[in-house]
Amino acid sequence: MARVRIRLARSADSGALADLRYRFRVENESAIESKSRFLRRCTSWMKKRFRSGSSPWRCWVLDDGDRLLGHVCVQLFEKVPNPIHDEPEHHAYVTNFYVVPEMRRQGLGERLLNTALSWCRARGTDAIILWATSGSKSLYRRCGFAEPTDIFELPHSSKR
């Protein structure tokens, strides 16, 4: 196996990242949008977010020198200042965490996630949040995540 390195995504990776995003999302569900249309839309979205160091988005990739094997994205977002507690005023949202099936169970995903988490900690985030699948919960627990009891979610399908 070629040496796999973790690096920050570049704007030039956007097409490959969009393709991985498509693979990730259709792995367990059918797409309602054509692949070509999705790839155009997602590539454009990613180019805008991953080109600038001033963007609140970061994306790390697994790169074997020939192709991208996985990715994880993080968005920093601000909190309203709190006069009661001296606490960090940013949260981080981890999303789009994916490793191609043939490279799973080799520790690459954990390395990739820990890279993103280290970046979040270095920025002094108060909390790092994500939505886990049933298959990913054990990895997140190994990395220190816990299932909180004080968060509510209103899914899109529950709109009134």
pTM equals: 0.88
pLDDT single digits (tens) 83-97 = 877 777 889 999 999
Q: Evaluate whether residue 1 is within a structural domain.
A: no
Q: Across the chain, what does the average pLDDT equal?
A: 88
Q: Evaluate whether residue 155 is within a structural domain.
A: no
Q: Evaluate whether residue 14 is within a structural domain.
A: yes
Categorize the per-residue pLDDT at 52 as very low, low, confident or very high, splitting at 50, 70 and 90: low
Domains: count for the chain: 1
- Please give the C-alpha separations between residue 25 and each of 14, 22, 106, 110, 113, in angstroms, as whole numbers: 16, 5, 22, 20, 18
- Domain hosting 130: range is 7-145
Domain of residue 139, CATH code: 3.40.630.30
pLDDT single digits (tens) 56-75 = 899 999 999 899 999 999 99
Q: Evaluate whether residue 153 is within a structural domain.
A: no
